[in-house]
Amino acid sequence: MLQTVAIVLVAVATVVGVAIFTRGAAAIAAQVRVGRPAAGRLTPVGRRAWTALAQILGHGHFRGRPVVRAAHWAVMLSFPLLFLTLVTGYGQLADPAFALPLLGHLPPGEWLTEAIAWLGLVGIVGLIAVRLRTQPRPAEEPETARRSRFFGSTRWQAYVVEAVILAVVLCVLALRALEYAYYAGEPELARYATTVHFPLTAWLGETLTGSGQATLATAITVVAAVKILVSVGWLAIVGLQPSMGVAWHRFLAVLNVYARREPGGGPALGPAQPLLADGAPVTLETLEDLPEDATLGVGTLADFTWKGLLDFSTCTECGRCQDQCPAWNTGKPLSPKLFTLALRDHAAATAPFLRAAAAASPEQLSAATLAGRDGFTPHTGDVLGALAAVGATGPTGVAVGPTALVPDVIAPDVLWSCTMCGACVHQCPVDIEHVDHILDLRRHEVLMASAFPAELGQMFKKLETKGNPWGLAARKRLDWAKDLEFEVPVVGADVESAAEVDYLFWVGCAGAFEDRAKKTTRAVAELLHTAGVSFAVLGDGEACTGDPARRAGNELLFQMLAAQNVETLTEARAQKIVVTCAHCFNTLAREYPQLGGRYDVVHHTQLLNRLVREGRLTPVAPPAAETRTITYHDPCFLGRHNQVYAPPRELLGALPGATAVEMPRSGETAMCCGGGGARVWMEEKIGTRVNVERAREAAATGATAVATACPFCTTMLSDGVAANGDEVEVLDVAQLLLAGVRRGQDT
């Protein structure tokens, strides 16, 4: 009787659970299909498949959390590797001794099953403990609660997933112990009741032997039924919740990692992606050929690519991105996680209506303009109008259709708080491309809606009219070279082309106009001269690379500046370029190739480090009383975006008499100075200033000097130190090296 009830109950539950799950999967697939094409995200197949396999099995994105990484790895593997125990469970409902043909009593398979079950148990208990220890407490103040990476995550969904995993692995281990005891009581099966077949559960099975075969058979039936019901119940729950990323990510993450921006690995950092319209890059030349109704950037849900919509559905709500975000950690409204979840929930509410609109004929859409519905006044192309025409209904109070993502879904303060440091992308275990999505939203706001902070409007005008964000005359670009003891040759005046020298020295706007950055420019020039490295500059022929414009969303202004610079560099026959600005480095090396400009670009710390290693620059120790402790700040666009971590540190290590100390957040986990993403040109009015927080962290190390490798960082941290009242000097690595080299020349 019990077996009959169990079989019927499990059969009904399985059909219902699988049906609901299939419906949920279809809903996600349909939602993703609403997005625009994402060219190149599915090929090359072999390379992408290998990268995805290596990334998923290696858990490469679980940086800095070895315990969580190991626990999640065990839990992840338990899902596919214990699937056969689920299949076996169906057979055990009818026959307690059921085992899969060939595989059922194969020792290696049994060893793997028991090992992964125990590892899964330890792993899920560990993950539950981590969540319980770090999740926000109901009684906590908001400022305290938001420090948890689980702040804003949907708590009940995580509890359901963790409870299901815990129940399943416990059932697997209980079944193995019951099977041992049952086999031991059956003469024809007793040969299996050994540690060869039950290496990690025989000890538990021994405690159950002698319980009686009928009792053991009943127990096997009950536990097998519970295991199946928990599993198919989970299918039903997640099927009813297509936005339950904490559950769906175990399926969607595979595709999302496969479709990552970089096929061979690496996060979606470095170069910004080209501006697209209908899947094709938009350039100044093609701009006039665009249809009048073309959209630049992302203004509504339908403007995202399918990869973007897949990103939102894949979010696990783990909060690693939030934990690292400098904006969130200084009291800003931007949380990369909450940003993603807001778009995910909006997509779940809106996608069905977009599909209905897409399915409507032009005649229906035309008719829809004449018929209002539920208080809405539709217009041509309006989704609610299309719904009225085709007879579909929508939820009350849900923002649907062509809702403007900014400000209806994403608040402007959220969008403009981003420094584009890339910490969120770097930390995300499922390769969500937060920075690309924020940039696309900014592009729409700037190019289509003309809605952006007032400070950016001034900066755009100065870039357009003067070629630099300070708005200074181009003739002042060589002022930094005044009073040097050697001549700085200019291409076109002192040398015919850059091909006549070792390097073209790209000074950059900050290096030419900002007083603190000028010191770095002079230091690099003097060091290159001392090392016998020939170089030349473009002088007033240089213009801003366009990085501030591009990162602020003004892609067309960026392209104007970039095209001008590419033409200048081509005429100058430049090939090898050295730069002092991390943003110029990223733009020239990683973004100009999109416009046909390909150069061998090195950051000044890379070149200077090589010169020291070759013995062409030799720093000398200062007097004992002048030795100093130095902490190095990683520029985001040099470190995370371009993986240049070692050269600056090796340079500091080569300075005699200097002791280097690391800040708690350094290298891959370094905190931003607050100047990236065009933030250096915007007022910071919410929360703590990012540069003030970073300067406080640097001073807390006890260092007397902060070494930088980017003029934006030098400026931001100098201002932060001053605001804190700390007696800490902020210097570029080149300035520190020059002081040591000069001491050698004086002796």
pLDDT tens profile 310-328:
999 999 999 999 999 999 9
What percentage of the chain carries pLDDT values higher than 70? Answer: 93
3-state secondary structure of 13: helix
Name the band, by pLDDT with cuts 50, 70 and 90, for residue 387.
very low
Q: Could you read off the pLDDT of 243-278 as tens digits, one per residue? A: 999 999 999 999 999 999 999 888 999 999 999 988
Roughly what angle, to the nearest 10 degrees, separates helices 336-359 and 306-314? 130
- CA-to-CA dists, residue 229 to 16, 59, 308, angstroms: 11, 30, 34
Name the band, by pLDDT with cuts 50, 70 and 90, for residue 361.
low
The dotted CATH code for 458-612 is 3.40.50
Alpha-carbon distance of 30 to 38, in angstroms, equals 16
Mean pLDDT of the chain: 91
In the predicted structure, residue 396 carries a pLDDT above the cut 60: no
Alpha-carbon distance of 649 to 290, in angstroms, equals 48
Say which DSSP state 204 is in.
H
- Average pLDDT for 145-164: 94
Instruction: Indicate the CATH number of 619-746 among 3.30.1490, 2.60.60, 3.40.50, 1.10.20.
Output: 3.40.50
Name the band, by pLDDT with cuts 50, 70 and 90, for residue 359.
low
Closest CA to 551 of 463, 670, 426: 463
What percentage of the chain carries pLDDT values higher than 90? Answer: 83
Name the band, by pLDDT with cuts 50, 70 and 90, for residue 499.
very high
Hey, CA dihedral for 720, 724, 725, 730, is it positive or negative? negative
CA angle 98, 100, 104 (to 5 degrees): 95
Strand-pair partners of 603: 579
Query: Quick one: pLDDT at residue 402?
Result: 58
Q: Could you read off the pLDDT of 189-203 as tens digits, one per residue? A: 999 999 999 999 999
pTM across the whole model:
0.92
Query: Quick one: pLDDT at residue 352?
Result: 77
Name the band, by pLDDT with cuts 50, 70 and 90, for residue 388.
very low
683, 610 Cβ separation under 8 angstroms: no
Query: Quick one: pLDDT at residue 370?
Result: 33
3-state secondary structure of 269: coil
Name the band, by pLDDT with cuts 50, 70 and 90, for residue 747.
low
Query: Quick one: pLDDT at residue 289?
Result: 86
93, 4 Cβ separation under 8 angstroms: no
435, 267 Cβ separation under 8 angstroms: no
Q: Could you read off the pLDDT of 505-537 as tens digits, one per residue? A: 999 999 999 999 999 999 999 999 999 999 999
In the predicted structure, residue 381 carries a pLDDT above the cut 90: no
- CA-to-CA dists, residue 403 to 41, 362, 407, 568, 570, angstroms: 27, 21, 9, 43, 45
Hey, CA dihedral for 651, 654, 658, 664, is it positive or negative? positive
Query: Quick one: pLDDT at residue 391?
Result: 35
Report the Cα 395 to chain-centroid distance in Å.
Answer: 32
Which residues are CB-neighbours of 51 under 8 A, at least 6 positions away? 257, 258, 260, 263, 264, 265
Alpha-carbon distance of 676 to 642, in angstroms, equals 14
In the predicted structure, residue 365 carries a pLDDT above the cut 50: no
152, 335 Cβ separation under 8 angstroms: yes
| Domains 458-612 and 619-746 equal at CATH topology level | yes
3-state secondary structure of 8: helix
- Average pLDDT for 735-740: 96
Q: Could you read off the pLDDT of 72-97 as tens digits, one per residue? A: 999 999 999 999 999 999 999 999 99
- Average pLDDT for 481-490: 95
- Average pLDDT for 41-58: 94
Tokens coding 235: 């299918």
**Which amino acid, one-letter code, is at 205?**
G
Q: What's the residue count for the chain?
A: 747
> Residue ranges per domain, the chain?
1-27+72-137+154-240, 275-452, 458-612, 619-746
Alpha-carbon distance of 586 to 595, in angstroms, equals 14
550, 270 Cβ separation under 8 angstroms: no
